[in-house]
Structure formats: C-alpha cells, structure tokens
C-alpha cells in the first residue's frame, strides 16, 4: 500500500463517488492505494473503496473502475526517478499531474524533473490511520498531523516540562542548604548539609531525566518526520 504525494506536499485521495482529490495534508485510509505491478514497468492503483484509478481521454482522473484489464485505461507506465519519485504515464501517452488547486489532471505531454508530474510513493506504516474507518478525522493542529499523534506529542511535552520544573525547584531549595551546611559547625552542619544534599541530588537527577526525555523525543520526531520516500520502497518490489 502506498500514498501518492505531490510536489505541493499533498496526498491523492479516492472519494466514494469516484472523484480524485489531491489536497490532503496527510495520508489516512482514502489516501492509500494497492499497487499491482505488471509487465514492462506498468502498474495499476486500487483505491480504498475497491476501485481502480483510471485515465480518461479528456484528461480527467477517475477512481471508479471495478476492473483493470491489460493495456486498459487503468494501467500506467512508471518512469522511476530514484528515491521513490516516479512519473505515471497513461495508455494515452499523457502524464498524471497534481495541480495547486487540489485537482488531478492526466493531460501533460511532458514530465520535467521537479515538475508537478513528479510523484512520491510513500509506503504505509504504523503511524497512519488506516483501518480506522472511512471517515476522514478532523485535525486540531492546523491539519498537519492526525489528532492522536498531536495528543501524544503534547502529553510528552507536558511531562517533560513538569519534570524540569520539579528538578529546578529542588535544586533551588537544596543549594542554599548545602552552602550553609558546608560553612556551619556542629549539629547545624549536618542538619542542613544532609537535606540539602538530598534535595540537590534529587533535583539534579530529575533535571537530567527531563533533558534526556527532551533529547530523545526530538531525535524520534526528526526520524519520523524524514521523507517517507527515503525508504526506497519501489526498488524492492517484485515485477
């Protein structure tokens, strides 16, 4: 299963009525297609509703075909450009193109590198929201992430901030006691030195843990936000 991402950063979506929309900011159920590789570098793309992507003579794109016969309008030639970037050419000799207004057109005679005809094949993984139903979930974070991803990120950030505040508070309390205890004599020395050392030590430990969580989260986010096309999925698929 792959999602098709345009140079505008939007995903192609198969609508229940057969329309093709290229305006989705992230991939959910309707944005994934089953790829069937055929002879001579040709493929078919089957949408979430069980219908095949089709190139019409007038240049329009439809996802409403129940079958994909050999050499039919549902079979496309792949021009592979590396790093999972491809161009798709129909049996009519036209290239698939993603428009800025979110529409898809199959009427381009040429496909220059870096143009609107370049398509990234993004492999489905465990971070998408496939199999959660066909309704597109709303987002509450500007439309860039699924809600559950944003909630997990917010929760982790809150925990990290809370630990940082606690650690800093204990450091502030423990440091004066350590200083006073170190210059005091007799019973006053131990009465301040011991609790000061305990609070300072715990505060330092909590602060380090909070910093480690922040560094680990930042690294994980960086990895997950890398271009999914870098997985080089297309090259490893059988003919």
Say which residue the tokens 């078919």 belong to.
44
Q: In CATH, what is the architecture of 2-137?
A: Trefoil (2.80)
The domain ranges of the chain are: 2-137, 148-224
pLDDT at position 229 is 39
pTM of the model: 0.55
Q: What is the maximum span of the chain, computed from C-alpha positions, in angstroms?
A: 96
* Of 72, 70, 101, nearest in space to 62 by CA: 72
In tens, the pLDDT along 42-75 reads 899 999 999 999 998 898 999 988 898 888 899 9
- DSSP for residue 95: E
Q: What average pLDDT does the structure give for the chain?
A: 76
Band of residue 144 on the pLDDT scale cut at 50, 70, 90: very low
pLDDT for 149 beyond 60: no
* Of 73, 37, 74, nearest in space to 52 by CA: 74
CA dist 207 and 236 (Å) reads: 45
């Amino acid at each position: 299963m792959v999602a098709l991402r345009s140079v505008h950063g939007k995903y192609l979506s198969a609508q229940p009525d057969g329309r093709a929309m290229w305006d989705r900011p992230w991939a959910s159920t309707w944005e994934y297609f089953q790829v069937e590789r055929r002879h001579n570098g040709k493929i078919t793309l089957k949408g979430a509703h069980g219908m095949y992507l089709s190139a019409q003579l007038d240049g329009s794109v439809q996802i409403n075909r129940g079958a994909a016969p050999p050499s039919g309008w549902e079979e496309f030639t792949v021009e592979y450009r590396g790093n999972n970037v491809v161009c798709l050419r129909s049996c009519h000799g036209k290239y698939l193109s993603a428009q800025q207004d979110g529409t898809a057109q199959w009427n381009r005679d040429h496909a220059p590198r870096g143009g609107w005809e370049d398509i990234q094949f993004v492999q489905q993984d465990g971070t998408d929201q496939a199999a959660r139903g066909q309704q597109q979930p709303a987002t509450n974070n500007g439309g860039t992430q699924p809600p559950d991803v944003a909630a997990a990120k917010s929760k982790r950030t809150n925990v990290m901030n809370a630990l940082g505040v606690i650690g800093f508070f204990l450091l502030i309390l423990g440091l004066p006691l350590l200083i006073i205890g170190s210059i005091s004599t007799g019973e006053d020395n131990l009465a301040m030195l011991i609790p000061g050392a305990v609070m300072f030590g715990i505060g330092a430990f909590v602060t380090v843990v909070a910093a480690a969580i922040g560094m680990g989260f930042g690294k994980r986010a960086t990895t997950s936000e890398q271009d999914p096309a870098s997985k080089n999925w297309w090259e490893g698929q059988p003919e």
